[in-house]
Chain A
Amino acid sequence: MDCSLAEEYFGDAIDRVLPTEVEQEFRMHLEGCCKCRNAYELEGFSKQVVRDHVKYITTPKVVRAAVTKSLKAAYRESLGRGRGWIESFLSPGVFIPTLAGGVVFAAFILLLTLRNESPYDMSAHTAPNDVINLTFKNFALIRSGQFEPALVTCSPESIADFFERNKVDFAVSVLKVPCDSYSAIWSEYEGVKVAHVLYKIGGEMLYVYQISQDEALEGPKFSLPPAAKIALAKSGWYTDPNHPNCNVVVWTVNGTLCVASSTMKKDKLLAVLTTQ
Protein backbone atom coordinates (compact mmCIF):
# COMPACT_ATOMS: atom_id res chain seq x y z
CA MET A 1 0.00 0.00 0.00
CA ASP A 2 1.44 3.38 -0.94
CA CYS A 3 1.03 6.69 0.91
CA SER A 4 -1.70 8.12 -1.33
CA LEU A 5 -3.85 5.01 -0.91
CA ALA A 6 -3.21 4.92 2.84
CA GLU A 7 -4.30 8.55 3.11
CA GLU A 8 -7.62 7.64 1.50
CA TYR A 9 -8.26 5.25 4.38
CA PHE A 10 -7.45 7.68 7.24
CA GLY A 11 -11.07 8.69 7.70
CA ASP A 12 -12.33 5.10 7.59
CA ALA A 13 -9.79 4.04 10.21
CA ILE A 14 -10.55 6.98 12.48
CA ASP A 15 -14.29 6.35 12.21
CA ARG A 16 -13.76 2.58 12.67
CA VAL A 17 -15.23 1.56 9.33
CA LEU A 18 -12.01 0.34 7.74
CA PRO A 19 -12.73 -2.70 5.54
CA THR A 20 -11.23 -5.83 7.15
CA GLU A 21 -9.49 -6.87 3.94
CA VAL A 22 -7.51 -3.62 3.97
CA GLU A 23 -6.85 -3.23 7.68
CA GLN A 24 -3.71 -5.32 8.01
CA GLU A 25 -2.03 -3.69 5.03
CA PHE A 26 -3.03 -0.24 6.29
CA ARG A 27 -1.61 -0.83 9.80
CA MET A 28 1.61 -2.24 8.37
CA HIS A 29 2.03 0.83 6.19
CA LEU A 30 1.57 3.13 9.18
CA GLU A 31 4.14 1.17 11.18
CA GLY A 32 6.67 1.65 8.41
CA CYS A 33 5.83 5.22 7.31
CA CYS A 34 6.40 8.02 9.85
CA LYS A 35 4.88 10.70 7.63
CA CYS A 36 1.60 8.82 7.21
CA ARG A 37 1.54 7.81 10.87
CA ASN A 38 1.87 11.45 11.95
CA ALA A 39 -0.76 12.65 9.50
CA TYR A 40 -3.16 9.89 10.55
CA GLU A 41 -2.75 10.63 14.25
CA LEU A 42 -3.19 14.36 13.69
CA GLU A 43 -6.41 13.75 11.83
CA GLY A 44 -7.60 11.56 14.66
CA PHE A 45 -6.71 14.29 17.17
CA SER A 46 -8.79 16.85 15.28
CA LYS A 47 -11.84 14.57 15.59
CA GLN A 48 -11.12 14.10 19.28
CA VAL A 49 -10.72 17.84 19.82
CA VAL A 50 -14.10 18.55 18.26
CA ARG A 51 -15.74 15.87 20.38
CA ASP A 52 -14.03 17.06 23.58
CA HIS A 53 -14.47 20.79 23.15
CA VAL A 54 -17.68 21.34 21.19
CA LYS A 55 -20.40 20.78 23.72
CA TYR A 56 -23.80 19.35 22.87
CA ILE A 57 -26.42 21.89 23.88
CA THR A 58 -29.98 21.23 24.94
CA THR A 59 -32.39 23.55 23.16
CA PRO A 60 -32.81 26.57 25.45
CA LYS A 61 -36.29 26.88 26.98
CA VAL A 62 -36.89 30.24 25.35
CA VAL A 63 -36.08 28.78 21.89
CA ARG A 64 -38.29 25.75 22.49
CA ALA A 65 -41.13 28.05 23.62
CA ALA A 66 -40.73 30.23 20.52
CA VAL A 67 -40.88 27.20 18.20
CA THR A 68 -43.94 25.81 20.00
CA LYS A 69 -45.66 29.21 19.85
CA SER A 70 -45.09 29.56 16.10
CA LEU A 71 -46.33 26.00 15.54
CA LYS A 72 -49.50 26.72 17.53
CA ALA A 73 -50.14 29.75 15.32
CA ALA A 74 -49.72 27.50 12.27
CA TYR A 75 -52.18 24.99 13.78
CA ARG A 76 -54.76 27.75 14.32
CA GLU A 77 -54.28 28.96 10.78
CA SER A 78 -54.80 25.51 9.27
CA LEU A 79 -57.87 24.93 11.47
CA GLY A 80 -59.27 28.29 10.40
CA ARG A 81 -58.74 27.44 6.71
CA GLY A 82 -60.57 24.14 7.17
CA ARG A 83 -63.48 25.79 8.94
CA GLY A 84 -63.60 28.69 6.50
CA TRP A 85 -64.65 26.77 3.40
CA ILE A 86 -67.10 24.59 5.33
CA GLU A 87 -68.83 27.59 6.90
CA SER A 88 -69.03 29.30 3.49
CA PHE A 89 -70.53 26.17 1.97
CA LEU A 90 -73.02 25.77 4.80
CA SER A 91 -74.33 29.36 4.69
CA PRO A 92 -78.10 29.39 3.99
CA GLY A 93 -77.73 31.04 0.58
CA VAL A 94 -75.57 28.18 -0.65
CA PHE A 95 -76.53 25.16 1.37
CA ILE A 96 -80.33 25.16 1.02
CA PRO A 97 -80.42 25.43 -2.78
CA THR A 98 -77.67 22.80 -3.01
CA LEU A 99 -79.59 20.47 -0.70
CA ALA A 100 -82.82 20.97 -2.64
CA GLY A 101 -81.08 20.27 -5.94
CA GLY A 102 -79.43 17.19 -4.46
CA VAL A 103 -82.76 15.79 -3.24
CA VAL A 104 -84.33 16.24 -6.70
CA PHE A 105 -81.34 14.60 -8.39
CA ALA A 106 -81.34 11.67 -5.95
CA ALA A 107 -85.08 11.14 -6.53
CA PHE A 108 -84.51 11.09 -10.30
CA ILE A 109 -81.71 8.53 -10.04
CA LEU A 110 -83.77 6.39 -7.66
CA LEU A 111 -86.64 6.39 -10.11
CA LEU A 112 -84.38 5.24 -12.94
CA THR A 113 -82.72 2.49 -10.93
CA LEU A 114 -85.95 1.17 -9.45
CA ARG A 115 -87.27 0.56 -12.95
CA ASN A 116 -84.16 -1.39 -14.03
CA GLU A 117 -83.08 -3.19 -10.90
CA SER A 118 -84.20 -6.78 -10.40
CA PRO A 119 -85.07 -7.93 -6.85
CA TYR A 120 -81.57 -9.34 -6.47
CA ASP A 121 -78.80 -7.87 -8.63
CA MET A 122 -75.83 -10.22 -8.75
CA SER A 123 -73.57 -7.41 -9.93
CA ALA A 124 -74.66 -4.72 -7.43
CA HIS A 125 -71.72 -3.30 -5.50
CA THR A 126 -73.30 -0.87 -3.07
CA ALA A 127 -72.02 -2.40 0.19
CA PRO A 128 -69.64 -0.03 2.05
CA ASN A 129 -66.90 -2.68 2.04
CA ASP A 130 -67.42 -3.68 -1.58
CA VAL A 131 -64.07 -3.59 -3.36
CA ILE A 132 -65.51 -2.05 -6.54
CA ASN A 133 -67.36 0.55 -4.47
CA LEU A 134 -64.18 1.42 -2.58
CA THR A 135 -62.28 1.72 -5.86
CA PHE A 136 -64.84 4.16 -7.22
CA LYS A 137 -64.74 6.31 -4.10
CA ASN A 138 -60.95 6.46 -4.10
CA PHE A 139 -60.82 7.28 -7.80
CA ALA A 140 -63.26 10.15 -7.21
CA LEU A 141 -61.01 11.43 -4.39
CA ILE A 142 -57.94 11.13 -6.62
CA ARG A 143 -59.58 13.04 -9.44
CA SER A 144 -60.65 15.79 -7.05
CA GLY A 145 -57.11 16.03 -5.63
CA GLN A 146 -58.03 14.89 -2.12
CA PHE A 147 -56.13 11.63 -2.20
CA GLU A 148 -52.53 12.56 -2.77
CA PRO A 149 -49.89 10.00 -3.64
CA ALA A 150 -46.85 9.40 -1.42
CA LEU A 151 -44.62 8.74 -4.44
CA VAL A 152 -44.64 10.07 -7.99
CA THR A 153 -42.06 8.65 -10.40
CA CYS A 154 -41.23 7.84 -14.02
CA SER A 155 -39.97 4.39 -13.13
CA PRO A 156 -42.25 1.39 -12.49
CA GLU A 157 -39.39 -0.25 -10.54
CA SER A 158 -39.57 2.58 -8.00
CA ILE A 159 -43.24 1.79 -7.46
CA ALA A 160 -42.47 -1.87 -6.72
CA ASP A 161 -39.63 -0.82 -4.35
CA PHE A 162 -41.95 1.63 -2.57
CA PHE A 163 -44.44 -1.07 -1.67
CA GLU A 164 -41.70 -3.48 -0.65
CA ARG A 165 -40.17 -0.83 1.64
CA ASN A 166 -43.57 -0.22 3.19
CA LYS A 167 -43.98 -3.98 3.79
CA VAL A 168 -47.15 -4.39 1.74
CA ASP A 169 -47.63 -8.12 2.22
CA PHE A 170 -48.80 -9.17 -1.24
CA ALA A 171 -47.39 -8.95 -4.77
CA VAL A 172 -48.32 -5.49 -6.04
CA SER A 173 -48.91 -5.58 -9.77
CA VAL A 174 -47.32 -2.71 -11.72
CA LEU A 175 -48.43 -2.44 -15.33
CA LYS A 176 -45.54 -2.06 -17.72
CA VAL A 177 -47.10 0.52 -20.01
CA PRO A 178 -45.46 3.72 -21.26
CA CYS A 179 -46.75 6.41 -18.90
CA ASP A 180 -46.32 10.10 -18.27
CA SER A 181 -46.01 9.19 -14.59
CA TYR A 182 -46.64 6.47 -12.02
CA SER A 183 -47.92 7.33 -8.53
CA ALA A 184 -48.29 5.18 -5.45
CA ILE A 185 -49.68 5.23 -1.96
CA TRP A 186 -50.55 2.51 0.52
CA SER A 187 -53.24 2.55 3.17
CA GLU A 188 -55.13 0.24 5.50
CA TYR A 189 -58.79 -0.72 5.44
CA GLU A 190 -59.96 -2.43 8.61
CA GLY A 191 -56.36 -3.43 9.34
CA VAL A 192 -55.75 -4.86 5.86
CA LYS A 193 -53.07 -3.30 3.66
CA VAL A 194 -54.23 -1.76 0.40
CA ALA A 195 -52.01 -0.66 -2.49
CA HIS A 196 -53.05 2.16 -4.78
CA VAL A 197 -51.30 2.76 -8.10
CA LEU A 198 -52.18 5.60 -10.45
CA TYR A 199 -51.02 5.77 -14.06
CA LYS A 200 -51.20 8.96 -16.10
CA ILE A 201 -51.23 8.03 -19.79
CA GLY A 202 -51.50 10.86 -22.29
CA GLY A 203 -53.92 12.96 -20.24
CA GLU A 204 -56.00 9.99 -19.05
CA MET A 205 -55.91 8.37 -15.64
CA LEU A 206 -55.93 4.70 -14.77
CA TYR A 207 -56.25 3.86 -11.09
CA VAL A 208 -55.71 0.34 -9.77
CA TYR A 209 -56.80 -0.65 -6.25
CA GLN A 210 -55.03 -3.79 -5.04
CA ILE A 211 -55.46 -6.13 -2.08
CA SER A 212 -54.61 -9.70 -1.28
CA GLN A 213 -56.82 -12.06 -3.31
CA ASP A 214 -57.54 -14.19 -0.22
CA GLU A 215 -58.70 -11.19 1.77
CA ALA A 216 -60.94 -10.03 -1.08
CA LEU A 217 -62.54 -13.36 -1.93
CA GLU A 218 -62.56 -15.20 1.39
CA GLY A 219 -61.86 -12.70 4.15
CA PRO A 220 -64.58 -11.06 6.28
CA LYS A 221 -63.56 -7.47 5.71
CA PHE A 222 -64.29 -7.03 2.01
CA SER A 223 -67.13 -8.01 -0.31
CA LEU A 224 -67.50 -8.49 -4.05
CA PRO A 225 -70.66 -8.88 -6.13
CA PRO A 226 -71.52 -12.59 -6.63
CA ALA A 227 -71.27 -12.12 -10.41
CA ALA A 228 -67.69 -10.91 -10.00
CA LYS A 229 -66.70 -13.90 -7.86
CA ILE A 230 -68.15 -16.33 -10.40
CA ALA A 231 -66.41 -14.62 -13.36
CA LEU A 232 -63.06 -14.42 -11.53
CA ALA A 233 -63.24 -18.12 -10.64
CA LYS A 234 -63.90 -19.02 -14.30
CA SER A 235 -61.57 -16.71 -16.21
CA GLY A 236 -59.69 -14.51 -13.75
CA TRP A 237 -61.40 -11.39 -15.22
CA TYR A 238 -64.62 -9.43 -14.60
CA THR A 239 -65.93 -6.32 -16.31
CA ASP A 240 -68.56 -4.46 -14.38
CA PRO A 241 -71.87 -4.23 -16.35
CA ASN A 242 -73.28 -1.34 -14.35
CA HIS A 243 -71.11 1.13 -16.19
CA PRO A 244 -72.06 1.48 -19.85
CA ASN A 245 -68.61 2.70 -20.77
CA CYS A 246 -67.25 -0.27 -18.83
CA ASN A 247 -64.42 1.56 -17.17
CA VAL A 248 -64.19 -0.87 -14.27
CA VAL A 249 -62.28 -4.09 -14.64
CA VAL A 250 -61.40 -6.64 -11.96
CA TRP A 251 -58.74 -9.33 -12.29
CA THR A 252 -56.49 -11.53 -10.22
CA VAL A 253 -52.73 -11.95 -10.69
CA ASN A 254 -50.12 -13.65 -8.48
CA GLY A 255 -52.46 -13.82 -5.47
CA THR A 256 -53.52 -10.19 -5.76
CA LEU A 257 -56.94 -8.83 -6.62
CA CYS A 258 -56.77 -5.73 -8.83
CA VAL A 259 -59.61 -3.35 -9.57
CA ALA A 260 -59.03 -0.81 -12.30
CA SER A 261 -61.09 2.30 -12.76
CA SER A 262 -60.31 4.70 -15.55
CA THR A 263 -61.31 7.68 -17.60
CA MET A 264 -60.40 5.59 -20.66
CA LYS A 265 -63.04 4.02 -22.90
CA LYS A 266 -63.63 0.26 -22.55
CA ASP A 267 -61.68 -0.91 -25.57
CA LYS A 268 -58.60 1.15 -24.75
CA LEU A 269 -58.67 0.12 -21.08
CA LEU A 270 -58.88 -3.56 -21.93
CA ALA A 271 -56.09 -3.15 -24.50
CA VAL A 272 -53.83 -1.62 -21.83
CA LEU A 273 -54.64 -4.27 -19.23
CA THR A 274 -54.31 -7.26 -21.51
CA THR A 275 -50.94 -6.39 -23.02
CA GLN A 276 -49.17 -7.49 -19.78
Chain B
Amino acid sequence: MDLVRHLRYFIVVAEELHFGNAAIRLGMAQPPLSQRIKRLEEELGVRLFDRSARQVRLTEPGRLLLGEAREIVGRVDRLHELARQGGRGTVLKVGVPPDLAATVLAALVAAFRESSPEVRLAPAEVWTADQVTALAEGTIDVGLVRHPVTAPGLTFGQVLVQAQGVLLAEGDPLASVGEVHLADLAGRELLMPPKEGEPGWRAEVLAECRRQGFVPAQVHEGAGLGLVLAGAAVAFGPRTELPGLAWRPLLGSPITSRVSTAWRAATPAVGDFSAAAVRTLKESAGMTHEGAAPVRRVSRRPGMLA
Protein backbone atom coordinates (compact mmCIF):
# COMPACT_ATOMS: atom_id res chain seq x y z
CA MET B 1 0.00 0.00 0.00
CA ASP B 2 1.00 3.66 -0.44
CA LEU B 3 1.45 4.41 3.25
CA VAL B 4 1.96 8.17 2.86
CA ARG B 5 -1.22 8.55 0.84
CA HIS B 6 -3.17 6.54 3.38
CA LEU B 7 -1.75 8.71 6.16
CA ARG B 8 -3.02 11.79 4.31
CA TYR B 9 -6.51 10.26 4.28
CA PHE B 10 -6.17 9.51 7.98
CA ILE B 11 -5.18 13.12 8.77
CA VAL B 12 -8.11 14.60 6.86
CA VAL B 13 -10.63 12.26 8.48
CA ALA B 14 -9.10 13.05 11.89
CA GLU B 15 -9.52 16.76 11.19
CA GLU B 16 -13.10 16.48 9.98
CA LEU B 17 -14.25 13.63 12.24
CA HIS B 18 -16.81 13.00 9.54
CA PHE B 19 -16.25 10.61 6.63
CA GLY B 20 -18.59 12.46 4.29
CA ASN B 21 -16.92 15.84 4.84
CA ALA B 22 -13.45 14.31 4.62
CA ALA B 23 -14.36 12.66 1.31
CA ILE B 24 -15.55 16.00 -0.09
CA ARG B 25 -12.31 17.64 0.99
CA LEU B 26 -10.31 14.86 -0.64
CA GLY B 27 -12.39 15.00 -3.79
CA MET B 28 -13.38 11.37 -3.60
CA ALA B 29 -16.41 9.25 -2.75
CA GLN B 30 -17.05 8.13 0.80
CA PRO B 31 -17.00 4.32 0.37
CA PRO B 32 -13.44 4.13 -1.01
CA LEU B 33 -12.28 6.52 1.75
CA SER B 34 -13.80 4.28 4.42
CA GLN B 35 -12.15 1.28 2.78
CA ARG B 36 -8.74 2.92 2.75
CA ILE B 37 -8.98 3.88 6.40
CA LYS B 38 -9.92 0.26 7.13
CA ARG B 39 -6.88 -0.92 5.18
CA LEU B 40 -4.64 1.48 7.08
CA GLU B 41 -6.05 0.14 10.35
CA GLU B 42 -5.31 -3.41 9.20
CA GLU B 43 -1.81 -2.42 8.15
CA LEU B 44 -1.08 -0.77 11.52
CA GLY B 45 -2.99 -3.33 13.53
CA VAL B 46 -4.96 -0.73 15.55
CA ARG B 47 -8.33 0.91 15.32
CA LEU B 48 -7.85 4.61 14.53
CA PHE B 49 -11.48 5.71 14.78
CA ASP B 50 -14.37 4.82 16.98
CA ARG B 51 -17.38 4.60 14.70
CA SER B 52 -19.70 2.93 17.20
CA ALA B 53 -21.40 6.13 18.34
CA ARG B 54 -23.33 8.33 15.97
CA GLN B 55 -20.27 10.52 15.53
CA VAL B 56 -16.76 9.56 14.49
CA ARG B 57 -14.15 9.89 17.22
CA LEU B 58 -10.39 9.32 17.34
CA THR B 59 -9.36 6.36 19.46
CA GLU B 60 -6.50 6.80 21.91
CA PRO B 61 -4.01 5.03 19.53
CA GLY B 62 -5.45 7.17 16.72
CA ARG B 63 -4.72 10.30 18.70
CA LEU B 64 -1.14 9.15 19.34
CA LEU B 65 -0.51 8.22 15.71
CA LEU B 66 -1.99 11.45 14.32
CA GLY B 67 1.00 13.57 15.40
CA GLU B 68 3.42 11.08 13.89
CA ALA B 69 1.39 10.89 10.71
CA ARG B 70 1.49 14.68 10.35
CA GLU B 71 5.24 14.66 10.85
CA ILE B 72 5.77 11.93 8.24
CA VAL B 73 3.54 13.64 5.69
CA GLY B 74 5.17 16.99 6.42
CA ARG B 75 8.62 15.56 5.91
CA VAL B 76 7.65 13.85 2.69
CA ASP B 77 6.26 17.16 1.40
CA ARG B 78 9.46 18.87 2.43
CA LEU B 79 11.49 16.19 0.66
CA HIS B 80 9.58 16.82 -2.54
CA GLU B 81 9.97 20.52 -2.24
CA LEU B 82 13.71 20.30 -1.62
CA ALA B 83 14.02 18.00 -4.62
CA ARG B 84 12.02 20.48 -6.73
CA GLN B 85 14.37 23.27 -5.73
CA GLY B 86 17.26 21.12 -7.02
CA GLY B 87 20.53 22.98 -6.94
CA ARG B 88 19.01 26.38 -6.41
CA GLY B 89 20.10 26.56 -2.76
CA THR B 90 18.12 25.94 0.35
CA VAL B 91 15.11 27.84 1.47
CA LEU B 92 14.42 28.60 5.12
CA LYS B 93 10.74 28.98 5.83
CA VAL B 94 10.16 31.32 8.72
CA GLY B 95 7.04 32.26 10.61
CA VAL B 96 6.81 35.72 12.17
CA PRO B 97 3.92 37.34 14.08
CA PRO B 98 1.74 39.44 11.75
CA ASP B 99 2.01 42.41 14.12
CA LEU B 100 5.82 42.47 14.03
CA ALA B 101 6.86 45.98 12.98
CA ALA B 102 7.73 46.20 9.30
CA THR B 103 11.09 47.79 10.06
CA VAL B 104 12.00 44.94 12.41
CA LEU B 105 11.09 42.31 9.82
CA ALA B 106 13.16 44.15 7.22
CA ALA B 107 16.14 44.32 9.59
CA LEU B 108 15.74 40.61 10.34
CA VAL B 109 15.77 39.65 6.68
CA ALA B 110 18.80 41.88 6.03
CA ALA B 111 20.75 40.47 8.98
CA PHE B 112 20.08 36.89 7.94
CA ARG B 113 20.98 37.60 4.33
CA GLU B 114 24.30 38.96 5.50
CA SER B 115 25.16 35.98 7.69
CA SER B 116 23.81 33.26 5.36
CA PRO B 117 23.81 34.54 1.78
CA GLU B 118 23.40 31.02 0.37
CA VAL B 119 20.03 30.46 2.05
CA ARG B 120 16.89 32.07 0.74
CA LEU B 121 14.55 33.31 3.47
CA ALA B 122 10.83 32.74 2.95
CA PRO B 123 8.99 34.60 5.72
CA ALA B 124 5.28 34.14 6.37
CA GLU B 125 3.09 36.07 8.81
CA VAL B 126 1.70 33.55 11.25
CA TRP B 127 0.42 33.93 14.84
CA THR B 128 2.09 31.91 17.60
CA ALA B 129 -0.48 29.09 17.86
CA ASP B 130 -0.43 28.61 14.08
CA GLN B 131 3.36 28.63 14.09
CA VAL B 132 3.32 25.75 16.55
CA THR B 133 1.10 23.77 14.18
CA ALA B 134 3.18 24.82 11.16
CA LEU B 135 6.37 23.69 12.90
CA ALA B 136 4.78 20.32 13.67
CA GLU B 137 3.65 19.92 10.08
CA GLY B 138 6.95 21.12 8.69
CA THR B 139 5.41 23.96 6.73
CA ILE B 140 7.84 26.31 8.47
CA ASP B 141 11.36 25.51 9.67
CA VAL B 142 11.66 28.12 12.38
CA GLY B 143 9.29 30.58 14.02
CA LEU B 144 9.34 33.71 16.09
CA VAL B 145 6.85 33.00 18.87
CA ARG B 146 5.34 34.87 21.79
CA HIS B 147 5.52 33.22 25.19
CA PRO B 148 3.94 31.64 27.16
CA VAL B 149 3.71 28.81 24.67
CA THR B 150 3.75 25.12 25.47
CA ALA B 151 4.26 22.52 22.80
CA PRO B 152 6.07 19.23 23.21
CA GLY B 153 9.01 18.74 20.89
CA LEU B 154 9.76 22.43 20.35
CA THR B 155 13.13 23.97 21.14
CA PHE B 156 13.27 27.67 21.96
CA GLY B 157 16.03 30.16 21.34
CA GLN B 158 17.01 32.82 23.83
CA VAL B 159 13.96 34.58 25.24
CA LEU B 160 13.98 38.35 24.77
CA VAL B 161 11.74 40.69 26.70
CA GLN B 162 10.23 44.07 26.09
CA ALA B 163 8.08 46.21 28.35
CA GLN B 164 4.97 47.23 26.45
CA GLY B 165 3.38 50.63 26.47
CA VAL B 166 -0.11 51.67 25.55
CA LEU B 167 -1.23 53.01 22.19
CA LEU B 168 -3.96 55.63 22.33
CA ALA B 169 -5.68 57.92 19.89
CA GLU B 170 -3.87 61.25 19.78
CA GLY B 171 -6.93 63.03 21.15
CA ASP B 172 -7.35 60.70 24.14
CA PRO B 173 -7.09 62.68 27.41
CA LEU B 174 -4.56 60.10 28.65
CA ALA B 175 -2.24 61.03 25.79
CA SER B 176 -1.47 64.24 27.67
CA VAL B 177 0.17 62.46 30.62
CA GLY B 178 3.73 61.12 30.66
CA GLU B 179 3.02 57.65 31.93
CA VAL B 180 -0.23 55.69 32.09
CA HIS B 181 -1.18 53.21 34.81
CA LEU B 182 -3.20 50.15 33.77
CA ALA B 183 -5.92 51.25 36.20
CA ASP B 184 -6.21 54.55 34.29
CA LEU B 185 -7.47 52.56 31.29
CA ALA B 186 -10.60 51.44 33.17
CA GLY B 187 -13.69 51.92 31.05
CA ARG B 188 -11.83 51.67 27.74
CA GLU B 189 -12.02 48.84 25.21
CA LEU B 190 -8.93 46.86 24.29
CA LEU B 191 -7.55 45.65 20.97
CA MET B 192 -5.54 42.42 21.09
CA PRO B 193 -4.18 39.87 18.60
CA PRO B 194 -6.75 37.13 17.80
CA LYS B 195 -7.57 34.75 20.65
CA GLU B 196 -7.00 31.69 18.46
CA GLY B 197 -3.62 32.96 17.35
CA GLU B 198 -2.16 34.21 20.62
CA PRO B 199 -3.98 32.35 23.42
CA GLY B 200 -1.10 32.40 25.93
CA TRP B 201 -0.27 36.08 25.52
CA ARG B 202 -3.91 37.08 25.64
CA ALA B 203 -4.63 35.16 28.84
CA GLU B 204 -1.53 36.58 30.51
CA VAL B 205 -2.29 40.18 29.54
CA LEU B 206 -5.98 40.04 30.50
CA ALA B 207 -5.18 38.50 33.91
CA GLU B 208 -2.65 41.24 34.63
CA CYS B 209 -5.11 43.94 33.54
CA ARG B 210 -7.75 42.53 35.86
CA ARG B 211 -5.28 42.31 38.73
CA GLN B 212 -4.49 46.00 38.24
CA GLY B 213 -8.07 47.22 37.93
CA PHE B 214 -8.56 47.35 34.16
CA VAL B 215 -11.35 45.07 32.93
CA PRO B 216 -12.00 46.07 29.30
CA ALA B 217 -15.69 46.41 28.47
CA GLN B 218 -14.87 44.63 25.21
CA VAL B 219 -11.78 42.95 23.81
CA HIS B 220 -11.50 43.44 20.05
CA GLU B 221 -9.40 41.12 17.92
CA GLY B 222 -7.08 42.18 15.15
CA ALA B 223 -3.62 43.28 14.16
CA GLY B 224 -4.46 46.62 12.49
CA LEU B 225 -4.58 49.72 14.66
CA GLY B 226 -7.66 51.24 13.03
CA LEU B 227 -9.79 50.92 16.17
CA VAL B 228 -7.10 52.68 18.19
CA LEU B 229 -6.82 55.44 15.64
CA ALA B 230 -10.60 55.85 15.80
CA GLY B 231 -10.43 56.21 19.57
CA ALA B 232 -12.61 53.12 20.02
CA ALA B 233 -9.97 51.00 21.76
CA VAL B 234 -6.47 51.03 23.20
CA ALA B 235 -3.72 48.52 22.45
CA PHE B 236 -0.48 47.39 24.06
CA GLY B 237 2.75 47.41 22.10
CA PRO B 238 6.29 48.62 21.76
CA ARG B 239 7.04 52.31 21.25
CA THR B 240 5.57 53.26 17.89
CA GLU B 241 5.37 56.52 16.07
CA LEU B 242 2.37 56.66 13.81
CA PRO B 243 0.39 59.72 12.75
CA GLY B 244 -2.77 60.10 14.81
CA LEU B 245 -1.53 57.78 17.56
CA ALA B 246 0.16 58.40 20.87
CA TRP B 247 2.33 55.85 22.66
CA ARG B 248 2.83 56.11 26.42
CA PRO B 249 4.85 53.87 28.75
CA LEU B 250 2.91 51.92 31.36
CA LEU B 251 3.68 52.80 34.97
CA GLY B 252 5.42 49.89 36.72
CA SER B 253 5.98 47.97 33.43
CA PRO B 254 3.14 45.53 34.15
CA ILE B 255 2.98 44.10 30.64
CA THR B 256 6.09 42.53 29.21
CA SER B 257 6.15 40.64 25.97
CA ARG B 258 8.50 37.65 25.78
CA VAL B 259 9.61 36.48 22.38
CA SER B 260 11.94 33.75 21.12
CA THR B 261 12.66 31.68 18.08
CA ALA B 262 11.29 28.13 18.05
CA TRP B 263 12.09 25.08 15.96
CA ARG B 264 11.60 21.38 15.83
CA ALA B 265 14.59 20.15 13.80
CA ALA B 266 17.88 21.99 14.34
CA THR B 267 19.77 22.73 11.11
CA PRO B 268 22.64 25.13 10.52
CA ALA B 269 20.25 27.54 8.77
CA VAL B 270 17.86 27.47 11.74
CA GLY B 271 20.76 28.18 14.10
CA ASP B 272 21.94 31.09 11.95
CA PHE B 273 18.45 32.54 11.79
CA SER B 274 18.03 32.23 15.52
CA ALA B 275 21.29 34.07 16.16
CA ALA B 276 20.40 36.77 13.63
CA ALA B 277 16.98 37.17 15.24
CA VAL B 278 18.41 37.70 18.73
CA ARG B 279 20.87 40.25 17.37
CA THR B 280 18.29 42.15 15.32
CA LEU B 281 15.57 42.18 17.94
CA LYS B 282 18.01 43.64 20.44
CA GLU B 283 19.36 46.23 18.03
CA SER B 284 16.32 47.37 16.10
CA ALA B 285 13.38 46.38 18.28
CA GLY B 286 14.83 47.39 21.65
CA MET B 287 14.37 43.96 23.24
CA THR B 288 16.59 42.79 26.08
CA HIS B 289 17.61 39.55 27.76
CA GLU B 290 15.08 38.10 30.11
CA GLY B 291 16.04 39.27 33.58
CA ALA B 292 14.44 38.60 36.92
CA ALA B 293 10.83 39.75 36.79
CA PRO B 294 10.36 42.79 39.02
CA VAL B 295 8.39 41.93 42.15
CA ARG B 296 5.18 43.92 42.23
CA ARG B 297 4.66 45.77 45.46
CA VAL B 298 1.10 46.17 46.62
CA SER B 299 0.68 49.18 48.86
CA ARG B 300 -1.29 49.03 52.08
CA ARG B 301 -3.78 51.80 52.59
CA PRO B 302 -5.98 51.49 55.66
CA GLY B 303 -9.12 52.74 53.94
CA MET B 304 -8.87 50.09 51.25
CA LEU B 305 -8.86 47.32 53.83
CA ALA B 306 -11.36 48.47 56.44
* B is bound to A: no
Residue positions of B touching A, CB distance < 8 A: none
